[in-house]
Amino acid sequence: MENRKITLSYNDGQGNQEFPVLPGTLGPDVVDIRTFSKTGMFTFDPGFLATAACESKITFIDGDLGQLYYRGYPIEQLAEHSDYLESCYLLLNGELPTAQQKSDFDYMVLRHTMLHDQIHNFFRGFRRDAHPMAVMVGVVGALSAFYHDSLDINDPHHREVSAFRLIAKVPTIAAQAYRYSKGLPFSYPKAGLSYAENFLHMMFSTPVAEYKVNPVLAKALDRIFILHADHEQNASTSTVRLAGSSGANPFACIAAGIACLWGPSHGGANEAVLKMLDEIGSVENVPAFMEGVKNKTHKLMGFGHRVYKNMDPRAKIMKQTCDEVLNELGLHNDPKFKLAMELEKIALEDPYFIERKLYPNVDFYSGIVLSAIGIPVAMFTPIFALARTVGWIAHWTEMIADPGMKIGRPRQLYTGAQRRDYVQVDARR
C-alpha cells in the first residue's frame, strides 16, 4: 500500500499528527519521524532498539527467521561457495565480481598488505603485555599519518584506495601486535598466499624454518572472516557511521569501530566462551554447571543471541567447520573440546534450553575453532575486528556517498538540576 501514514494523537486535546511510513525491500517498515521535532518534543529510545538511524543496502537480518543476507545473498551460500575477499568485493560494490574483477580485487588487496616501515616504531611504544586491541586502536588510527594521499573523503577514488589499504593492512597490524607481545620478530606478508593463509603465515612463521599453511585451517579461518564480515547496524558499525558523519578520515573511523568492538558486550563473546570452559574445568563438572545455569548462579556464554530468536544461521556453518578442524587436528578427545561438545549436547537436548531457544551461536563454535588452530584468547577480538573491517568501510562509504548525509546528533531526556545561581564558596552550606 503506497502513501501509508501513521497518526499520532494526544490525550490533552492537541490535534493529531501524521507521519509517513517508509517500506523496505525486506523487514519491518519504518515511521519517518524527521519532522517530529517541530512538535517541540523528541522521541525516547535508549539503545536505539526501535530506531532506524539510516537507510542501507548492505546487510539484512531477520532475527525471528534466522536469516542473514549480504547484499541479498544468504550467508550460508557465501560461506560454502565464496571466499572472504569475494565477500569483501560484494559488500563494497553490491554485486559478485566477474573472474577478472575478482582477480584484480585480490591483487589490489594483497599488494597493500605491507606497512610503512616507520609504523613499526609504534609497536615498540607499547608494553609487551599490552592487549592487542589497544595496539590495534592506536596503530590503525595512526595510519592516517602515513597515507595522506587518500584522505579526501569526497573523492570516490580516495575512498576506494582507503578501503583497499584498510582491508589489506589490518591483518598485518593484528599479526604484528601478537608477535610483538611474544617478543617475536615481525613476519611480513608473502606473495602467493591467500588472505587467510597470509594471516596464519604472519602469525606463526619463524625465520628458522619454513611454515606450511594447513589448507583445512586456512579454510576454517576464511569462513570465520566471512561470517563476521558484517552484521547490519550493530554497536561498532553505528560508531563508525557516527564518527564518519563528522567528516573524520576513514582510518580514524575504523579505529573508533575497533575501540567499540573491544567492549565485552560486543566483540568479546567468543573470548568469554573459552574463559567459561576454563572455569568449568572438565566434562564431569558440566551437569552441575548446567544446573547452575538453570538456577541463575552460572552464566552460559556462547548460547542464544540478542538478535536471533531462532538458530543463528552462522552457527550451523561454524559447527561443520568446527568438526572439520577437530578431525584434521585429532582433537576430539582433547579435554577442553570434549567439554565443549558435552555443553553443546546438553543444550541441544535439554527442554530447558530448547524452550528458551538457547542454541549454540557463532561465538561458541568460532571460539573453539580459533583455540584449536592455536590462536591465543587475547587475539580473538582482533580477529573479529580484522574480519569486520570490510563491513565498517562498506557502511562508511555508503554513508559518505549519500548526498543527504547529516552529522549524527542524538538528543536526550534531561533529568538533571533546573537553572540555579552560582553561590560563592564561603557562602555554601
What residue spans define the domains of the chain?
A: 5-52, 75-265+377-401, 268-373
pLDDT level of residue 266 (50, 70, 90 thresholds)? confident
pLDDT above 70 (res 1): no
Q: Which fold is adopted by the domain 5-52?
A: Rubrerythrin, domain 2 (2.20.28)
**Of 112, 222, 363, 395, catalytic:** 363
Active site residue 305: yes
The more confidently predicted of residues 311 and 227 is 227
Q: Side chain identity at 404, as an amino acid letter?
A: G
**Of 305, 332, 402, 421, catalytic:** 305
Cα–Cα distance measured from residue 13 to residue 176, given in angstroms and rounded to the nearest whole number: 65
| pLDDT of res. 161 | 96
Listed in sequence order, the DSSP H helices in 228-379 are 235-244, 250-261, 269-280, 286-294, 313-329, 335-349, 351-355, 362-373
Is 232 in contact with 61 (CB distance < 8 Å)? yes
Which residues does 296 contact at the CB level (< 8 Å), separation at least 6?
Answer: none
Q: Looking at domain 75-265+377-401, which CATH architecture does it have?
A: Orthogonal Bundle (1.10)
| pLDDT of res. 395 | 97
pLDDT above 90 (res 259): yes
pLDDT level of residue 267 (50, 70, 90 thresholds)? confident
> Which pTM does this prediction carry?
0.92
Express each pLDDT in 144-157 by its tens digit: 999 989 899 999 99
| pLDDT of res. 239 | 97
pLDDT level of residue 376 (50, 70, 90 thresholds)? very high
Express each pLDDT in 205-214 by its tens digit: 998 888 999 9
Q: What is the rounded average pLDDT of the residues 161-170?
A: 97
Question: Percent of the chain having pLDDT more than 70?
Answer: 100
Express each pLDDT in 27-55 by its tens digit: 999 999 988 888 888 999 998 989 999 99
32: helix, coil or strand? coil
| pLDDT of res. 396 | 97
Q: Which of 38-42, 84-88, 352-356, 359-363 has the highest mean pLDDT?
A: 84-88
Hey, what CATH class is 268-373 in?
Answer: mainly alpha
Express each pLDDT in 242-251 by its tens digit: 999 999 999 9
Grid cell listed for 312: 543463528
pLDDT above 80 (res 309): no
| pLDDT of res. 256 | 98
* Rounded (to 5) percent helix, strand, coil in the chain: 55, 5, 40
